[in-house]
Amino acid sequence: MSTISDPPSGSFQLSMLINDTRYRSYTFQFIALILLIMAFAYLGYNLLANLQAAGLNISYKFLGEPAGYDINQTLVDYTSQSTHWRAAVVGVLNTLLVAFLGCLMATVIGVFVGVLRLSDNWLVRQIMSIYVEIFRNVPVLIWILIIMAIFIAVLPQPRDFRGEDAAASMVFGAFAFTGRGFYSPAPVFGPGSSVVVAVFLASIAGIFAFRRYAKKALYDRGQLIPTLWPSLAIFFVPSILVFFVMGRPITLDYPSLQGFNFQGGIFMRNSLIALWFALSIYTAAFIAENVRAGILAVSKGQTEAAASLGLRPGRIMNLVVLPQALRVIIPPLISQYLNLTKNSSLAIAVGYMDLTGTLGGITLNQTGRAIEAIFLLMLFYLAISLAISAIMNVYNNSVKLKER
Amino acid sequence: MKKIAILGAMTAAGLSAGVASAATLDDVKARGKLNCGVTTGLVGFAAPNANGEWEGFDVGVCRAVAAAVLGDPAAVEFVPTTGKTRFTALASGEIDLLARNTTWTFSRDVDLGFEFVGINYYDGQGFMVPKALGVSSAKELDGATICIQTGTTTELNLADYFRKNNISYEPVPIETNAEAQPLYLEGACDVYTTDASGLAATRAAFENPGDHVVLPEIISKEPLGPLVRHGDNQWGDIARWTLNALIAAEELGVTSANVQELAASAGENPEINRLLGTEGTLGAMLGLEADWAVKAIAAGGNYGELFEKNIGENTPIGLARGLNAQWTEGGLLYSPPFR
Amino acid sequence: MSDTHAHSVAFVRETMLPQQPPPVTEAGVVKWMRENLFKGWFNTLLTVVSLYFIFKIVTGAYPWFANGIWNTSSLAECRDMLDGMTGACFSVLTERWNQLLFGFTYPRDAYWRPTLAFVLLIVAIAPVLYPKAPRNLLYFTAVYPFLAYWLIWGGTLLIPLMVLVGLVAGYFAFKQFERQSFAMGMIAGLVSAVVVIWAGSIVPASMPNVMAIEAVQSRDIGGFMLNMILGTVCVSLSLPLGIMLALGRQSSMPIIKWICIIFIEFIRGVPLITLLFVANVVLAYFFPPGSNIDLVLRVIIMITMFSSAYIAEVIRGGLAALPRGQYEAANSLGLDYAQSMRLIILPQALKISIPGIVNVAVGLFKDTTLVSVISMFDLVGMIRGPILASTEWNGVYWELWGFAVFVFFIVCFSISKYSQWLERQLATDHR
């Protein structure tokens, strides 16, 4: 029984704009739009008036001019004669580098701690929960500065390695842990090394192929093929064989103390490590909580059912619990990755030259183009954030429960 | 509460938005305080003392301008600025005068729209190293790790210098002087570079200043001076001539001790009379009172007194006058005549 | 039956045996240890490793704490007193205590004011946090922001008083017009508040010395006090903003919805540090020429925007989690939008969102340390700048950073424990 009658279709009255729900939303939106435009106009007017009073203009020409400053860690070619834009690109790459390393390590530590928090061992559980609480409840900036303080105050400086009875010495003659960063041997690729690298890459592909085959065998024929030892064999044996057959084309370049610093080898700067470690252990505390919640979210019955099928505890975790927990864990994990990436902007506190350090730091200071530089800075971060969440969402969709 | 304050401020500001902002002098007089931008802390140039009062050479300039304009050297609001914020603070009107050992360069003057009102310290970029390193020249610094304060001309000079001499280095960018200090002292960098005056000031704050040496090379010209916004010429003139008055006062032998006496009545030297307002109408031309320069000089003394009190040879910083002596004594200080 | 039994069986116990204590390995401490510490070789290994770890930390840290020196005036003096022993120079904390708490330019004789404001904060916040606290205290909570402003910033009491009067006037105007419609009430309230404040601003301007205490500039505020101020002000301001944004994002009106979405996603996509840069170097360009909005206020604006976007997302989650039936029930009662939100939806949605909001609040409080990057002297800024760079205390890292860790841990940990407690209190359903 439909009693809904059309509202009186009388002529349109002005009061209906407020009293009639059909039109009211238009009124509100109109008002909101007007207010928004007015606010922007007001801010824009102020901006123009201020710029005019200060004799400034908005211009992005500075991006094409030589930057004039040096950057200590560059993943692409850069000299002080490169442009400000190039400096910004160096900064973006450094941001992505530390974010990538940080996410990797945070995930490893986070999963490890999260699983241990559910351990049978009371003592381990307590230690892990103390870790989580301490790191979650103290600002990440403080952790970054503390790790930097360890570098500055505790680790020996290169000068301590000098002399006959030096206060510090290299570990195995190959690694140097100094207050300026870590030095380790770097591989030097001689002629013929490409073959070794190719074989190495091929054996990694081989491992994946073998594991896929093993899985297929398990599902199709119920045949359980051990994967661990064959994988390790594939990983090491061919590469090492080829390495010796080709006459050891890859050598190591050991760092050595020359002049003021160690020269040669791979150098990881203290600012990178401080930032990387601090972001990792801080974010890992949050990830651990997500992992724990994810595992707890898998109902006890699943574990018991798996146990009653005769699976060993390790396999229960790998085959039954974790795949299900993953679906709960991944969405908060994405937001932790995003947080880590955004927190990497604290690099400026330890002088790591990320995007905030180049574009939002030195470039801004040198050119004085504050509005332009900060606008670009925000756009870059927005793009990075959107890209990460897009990629992670694709992954999330691929592991999501497929409902049939 | 804060929201209301913002709303209130916005409405009030909106009502007054039509008022021209060019007349800095009127703003300062209406406010009764001069907003002066200084460093966040560099002993000798601008740093709060144990009682939280600002002291130093740049601070002296601020106080002189405040005394000239408002008659009270204490009517200054010191706004600490970093390399990043200093220019915005000035451009946006947060401060009226920036006295923060800022180098006068072409692009800052022309492109950023500021007006340098003079030079209160002729400086140059130098290097400080621990004595233990045994370095005697900047050319020996190949491969060294160097701490630089970012946002200053020093990092550009450094890049130029090392490129020109074809030697390599590791830059470690630092935001403020305070952060650079522990890095340098603990050996995280071999060298600290900034203006020679800043090096002396930093070294003076060390526990054992004798363990560190400043290398002889000065790799750049760093004329440091106070600056104001472009476009308000009257205000620029006031700042410029207050600085000149301090310099001229030293040349003419007017000190904080005898300035009152000399200003009491017109004396024999017409230039002193014009400077101190007992003759002519220089003050009125600036839009200030006749005894503006008297107050400015009485605030902290003439240029020489300010120098000796804050950074001179009898202070821990111990800078010699060098280029900053009067032209009559072989320096570069040369005030245009007061007439 | 029993007789035959008695003859055929040699012995039958006719009473129950008294209960035996379980074997030693299955009871008490031993059992607990067997189950929790030494179950299997791997577990035992873990326990041993953990014990070794704890042992190392305790033996390493104990002499450092025990030999701590509390009453020297410089690091050199402290090192002299320690005479080569391992020990902490806690004297940096005692000597710089006021600087750590209040910053280095806050007037010394006015330290009691922020301290009092902090004590009163606890009183004011009690009725909000603990449902059992006396309800009358809520009036004090309403007055508290004005009182705290007066205590911390000083100046004449008339300024906060006028604003308070304006707000009260606005509230009564709102009540008056609320019967017509909620929107009308809001507009009337806003207009009358602004008018009263604007008109009333003559009063404090004409009598700047009535009930005046020494005025303090915002830039003189520092130390942990700055963290506390930024944290409490920004959280309390961003809550209403966040609610509005969340409602806006759920709205059926496309323009409003998109404004909210763009705002929220933009803010959530950029790091807080860039927003602080905006506050520091850009925001001043957007204010009318000649207006001087000080740095603390600009930072408060940006942090509030930042946290309101996050709170909006939390509340949106709460709104989405509410059963559809609640919305429909509210509509079928004939409530309009404002009424249904105020009386039915929001109370439930907010209750669901409390843990999330508290998480955002803790995060925000931790993020207030970032202001040290834009050269404001909060707790971290004080340590990094004036204290570590001073001649006396050059190189005292662990005592200072340990103190910072300790302070933040205490505050944040108790907030999150409170949130868990509240969650249990509010869990009235599905047991």
Answer yes or no: do C149 and B1 touch at CB < 8 A.
yes
With a pLDDT cut of 90, the percent of chain B lying above it is 30
The closest CB to that of A127, out of C50, C256, C268, belongs to C50
- pLDDT band per the 50, 70, 90 thresholds, residue A119: confident
Judge whether C276 and C370 are in contact, CB under 8 Å: yes
* B133/chain C closest Cα distance in angstroms: 21
Looking at residue C384, what is its pLDDT? 86
Integer Cα distance of A351 and A72 in angstroms: 10
Q: Tell me what the mean pLDDT of segment C12-21 comes to.
A: 85
Which residue of C lies nearest to A123 if distances are taken between CA atoms? C47
C299-332 burial, b if ≥16 CB within 10 A, otherwise e? Answer: bbbbbbbbbbbbbbbbbbebbeebeeeeeeebee
- Does pLDDT of B97 surpass 90? yes
- pLDDT band per the 50, 70, 90 thresholds, residue B52: confident
Which residue of B lies nearest to A272 if distances are taken between CA atoms? B172
Judge whether C204 and C271 are in contact, CB under 8 Å: no
Integer Cα distance of A110 and A114 in angstroms: 6
Looking at residue C167, what is its pLDDT? 87
Say which residue, C364 or A184, is predicted with more confidence.
C364
The closest CB to that of A261, out of B132, B159, B170, belongs to B170
Interface test with B, best of A365, A366, A367 (most B CBs within 10 A): A365
Integer Cα distance of C396 and C383 in angstroms: 10
Q: Tell me what the mean pLDDT of segment C402-425 comes to.
A: 90
- Does pLDDT of A313 surpass 60? yes
Looking at residue A330, what is its pLDDT? 86
CB atoms within 10 A of CB B13: 17
Answer yes or no: do B188 and A361 touch at CB < 8 A.
no
- pLDDT band per the 50, 70, 90 thresholds, residue B155: confident
Answer yes or no: do A381 and C274 touch at CB < 8 A.
yes
Say which residue, C388 or B302, is predicted with more confidence.
B302
Query: What is the SS3 assignment for C210?
Result: coil
Query: What is the SS3 assignment for B90?
Result: helix
Mean pLDDT over all residues of chain B?
85
Looking at residue B14, what is its pLDDT? 41
The contacts of residue B271 (CB under 8 Å, 6+ apart) are: B248, B252, B337, B338, B339
Q: Tell me what the mean pLDDT of segment C145-150 comes to.
A: 89
Mean pLDDT over all residues of chain A?
85
- Does pLDDT of A1 surpass 50? no
Looking at residue C250, what is its pLDDT? 86
Contacts of B14 in chain C (CB under 8 A): 288
Integer Cα distance of C198 and B311 in angstroms: 49
DSSP string of B199-242, one letter each residue = HHHHHHTSS-GGGEEE-S---S-EEEEEEEETT-HHHHHHHHHH
- pLDDT band per the 50, 70, 90 thresholds, residue A10: low
* B264/chain C closest Cα distance in angstroms: 37
Interface B–C counts its CB contacts (< 8 A) at 122
- Residue reference for tokens 């002729």: B122
Q: Which two tokens stand for residue C250?
A: 């759920």
Interface test with C, best of A122, A365, A379, A381 (most C CBs within 10 A): A122
Query: C303, C271, C311: which is closest to C376 by C-alpha?
Result: C303
Answer yes or no: do B159 and A80 touch at CB < 8 A.
yes
- pLDDT tens column, A359-377: 888 888 888 888 899 999 9
Integer Cα distance of A395 and B10 in angstroms: 47
Contacts of A358 in chain B (CB under 8 A): none
With a pLDDT cut of 90, the percent of chain A lying above it is 30
Reading phi first (left if > 0) and then psi (alpha if -120 to 50, else beta), residue B56 is in: left
The closest CB to that of C43, out of A120, A364, A374, belongs to A120
B48-57 burial, b if ≥16 CB within 10 A, otherwise e? Answer: beeeeebbbb
Looking at residue C7, what is its pLDDT? 62
Highest mean pLDDT among B62-66, C162-166, C280-284: B62-66
Integer Cα distance of B93 and B27 in angstroms: 10
Integer Cα distance of C197 and B5 in angstroms: 10
Say which residue, C388 or C122, is predicted with more confidence.
C122
Contacts of B17 in chain C (CB under 8 A): 288-289
Answer yes or no: do C366 and A139 touch at CB < 8 A.
yes
Answer yes or no: do B113 and A56 touch at CB < 8 A.
yes
Query: What is the SS3 assignment for C153?
Result: helix
Say which residue, C220 or C208, is predicted with more confidence.
C220
* A147 residue type, one letter: I
- Does pLDDT of A137 surpass 50? yes
Integer Cα distance of B335 and B327 in angstroms: 9
Residues β-bridged to residue B229: B114
Looking at residue B243, what is its pLDDT? 94
Looking at residue A6, what is its pLDDT? 57
The closest CB to that of C405, out of A25, A142, A381, belongs to A142
* B332/chain A closest Cα distance in angstroms: 28
Answer yes or no: do C259 and A343 touch at CB < 8 A.
no
Answer yes or no: do A368 and B87 touch at CB < 8 A.
yes
Neighbours of chain A (3+ CB pairs under 8 A): B, C
- pLDDT tens column, C188-212: 888 888 888 888 777 777 777 777 7
B172-209 burial, b if ≥16 CB within 10 A, otherwise e? Answer: bbbbbbbbbbbbbbbbbbbbbbbbbbbbbbbbbbbeeb
- Does pLDDT of A130 surpass 90? yes
Which residue of A lies nearest to B18 if distances are taken between CA atoms? A49
- Does pLDDT of C27 surpass 50? yes
- Does pLDDT of B7 surpass 50? no
- Radius of gyration over alpha carbons of chain B, in Å? 21
Interface A–B counts its CB contacts (< 8 A) at 117
Looking at residue B1, what is its pLDDT? 41
Say which residue, C180 or B5, is predicted with more confidence.
C180
Looking at residue A7, what is its pLDDT? 54
H helices, E strands: number in chain C: 20, 2
Integer Cα distance of C210 and C198 in angstroms: 19
- Does pLDDT of B18 surpass 60? no
Q: Which two tokens stand for residue C366?
A: 């931790």
Looking at residue B2, what is its pLDDT? 42
Contacts of B207 in chain C (CB under 8 A): 76, 391, 394
- pLDDT band per the 50, 70, 90 thresholds, residue B19: very low
Q: CA geometry: angle at C360 spanning C358 and C361, to 5°?
A: 60
Looking at residue A262, what is its pLDDT? 82
Judge whether A231 and A211 are in contact, CB under 8 Å: yes
Contacts of B229 in chain A (CB under 8 A): 53-55
Contacts of C290 in chain B (CB under 8 A): 13, 16, 19, 21, 27, 93
The closest CB to that of A138, out of C252, C370, C408, belongs to C408
Answer yes or no: do B111 and A368 touch at CB < 8 A.
yes
- Does pLDDT of C426 surpass 80? no
- Does pLDDT of A215 surpass 60? yes
- Does pLDDT of B16 surpass 50? no
Answer yes or no: do B88 and C284 touch at CB < 8 A.
yes
Q: Which two tokens stand for residue C89?
A: 């120079």
CA C205, distance to chain mean position in Å, is 35
- pLDDT tens column, A35-53: 999 999 999 998 888 888 7
Looking at residue B4, what is its pLDDT? 43
Looking at residue B13, what is its pLDDT? 42
Helix (H), strand (E), coil (C) string for chain A: CCCCCCCCCCCCCCCHHHHCHHHHHHHHHHHHHHHHHHHHHHHHHHHHHHHHHHCCCCCCHHHHCECCCCCCCCCCCCCCCCEHHHHHHHHHHHHHHHHHHHHHHHHHHHHHHHHHCCCCCHHHHHHHHHHHHHHHCCCHHHHHHHHHHHHHHHCCCHHHHCCCCCCCCCECCCEEEECCEEEECEEEECCCHHHHHHHHHHHHHHHHHHHHHHHHHHHHHCCCCCCHHHHHHHHHHHHHHHHHHCCCCEEEECCEEECCEEECCEEEEHHHHHHHHHHHHHHHHHHHHHHHHHHHHCCHHHHHHHHHCCCCHHHHHHHHHHHHHHHHHHHHHHHHHHHHHHHHHHHHHCCCCCHHHHHHHHHHHHHCCHHHHHHHHHHHHHHHHHHHHHHHHHHHHHHCCCCC
Judge whether C384 and C100 are in contact, CB under 8 Å: no
Contacts of A53 in chain C (CB under 8 A): 289
With a pLDDT cut of 70, the percent of chain A lying above it is 94
The contacts of residue A196 (CB under 8 Å, 6+ apart) are: A239, A242, A243, A246, A249, A250
Residue C68 CB-density burial (10 A; 0-12 exposed, 13-18 middle, 19+ buried): middle
Q: What is the pTM of this model?
A: 0.87
Q: Tell me what the mean pLDDT of segment B222-248 comes to.
A: 91
Neighbours of chain C (3+ CB pairs under 8 A): A, B
- pLDDT tens column, B157-197: 999 999 999 988 888 888 778 888 888 888 888 999 988 88
Integer Cα distance of C294 and C289 in angstroms: 14
Answer yes or no: do B84 and A80 touch at CB < 8 A.
no
Integer Cα distance of C286 and A40 in angstroms: 10
Query: What is the SS3 assignment for C264?
Result: helix
- pLDDT tens column, A285-308: 999 999 999 999 888 899 899 999
Judge whether C78 and C72 are in contact, CB under 8 Å: yes
Say which residue, A400 or A263, is predicted with more confidence.
A263
- Does pLDDT of A248 surpass 90? no
The contacts of residue C345 (CB under 8 Å, 6+ apart) are: C319, C322, C326, C327, C330
- Does pLDDT of C140 surpass 70? yes
Looking at residue B64, what is its pLDDT? 94
Q: Report the run of H or E that residue C417 belongs to, with start and end.
A: helix C397-426
Contacts of A349 in chain C (CB under 8 A): 372-373
Interface A–C counts its CB contacts (< 8 A) at 154
H helices, E strands: number in chain B: 14, 13
Least confident of A160-174, B140-154, B295-309, C336-350: A160-174
Answer yes or no: do C386 and B89 touch at CB < 8 A.
no
Mean pLDDT over all residues of chain C?
85
Looking at residue B307, what is its pLDDT? 93
- pLDDT tens column, C53-92: 999 999 988 888 888 888 888 888 888 888 878 888 888 8
- Does pLDDT of B305 surpass 90? yes
- Does pLDDT of A4 surpass 80? no
Query: What is the SS3 assignment for B196?
Result: helix
